[in-house]
Amino acid sequence: EDQVTQSPEALRLQEGESSSLNCSYTVSGLRGLFWYRQDPGKGPEFLFTLYSAGEEKEKERLKATLTKKESFLHITAPKPEDSATYLCAVERGQAGTALIFGKGTTLSVSS
């Protein structure tokens, strides 16, 4: 059964304090691993798609990496506006079908 597990559940950082979020996955043939940002009361906002081990993608202070068993979302010198819940997901079944999500990591960055 495809499964996505994220850790930690919550993370509190000081502004400028870099850290990483973890997403471990179990799927029968990875087609794509996704990172989304979700603000309270909003739908998820797309950040990255990773396809193969060794792949890395960056966007501002965020960098996502992928291995055969897990993905990391590195946050460098975070700012308070980076506070949100970060969701990891994998495609289920054939490409273009639904996503399986982890429970997310809620990040709080204080100034």
User: How far is residue 74's CA from residue 54's CA, in Å, rounded to a whole number?
Assistant: 14
82 is a site residue for other proteins (CB under 8 A): no
49 is a site residue for other proteins (CB under 8 A): yes
32 is a site residue for other proteins (CB under 8 A): yes
User: How far is residue 31's CA from residue 35's CA, in Å, rounded to a whole number?
Assistant: 14
Is the peptide bond between 40 and the residue preceding it cis, with omega within 30 degrees of 0? no
Would you call 85 helix, strand, or coil by DSSP? strand
C-alpha 42: how far from its chain's center?
17
Q: What number of chain residues touch other proteins (CB under 8 A)?
A: 29
42 is a site residue for other proteins (CB under 8 A): yes
Choosing from 13, 71, 82, 91, the residue that interacts with other proteins (CB under 8 A) is 91
Q: How near is the Cβ of 83 to other proteins at its closest, in Å?
A: 16
Nearer to other proteins, 51 or 77 (CB): 51
Residue given tokens 């819940």 in the structure block: 85
User: How far is residue 91's CA from residue 102's CA, in Å, rounded to a whole number?
Assistant: 12
**What does the binding site for other proteins look like in residue numbers (CB under 8 A)?**
4, 9, 31-32, 34, 36, 41-47, 49, 51, 87, 89, 91-92, 95-104
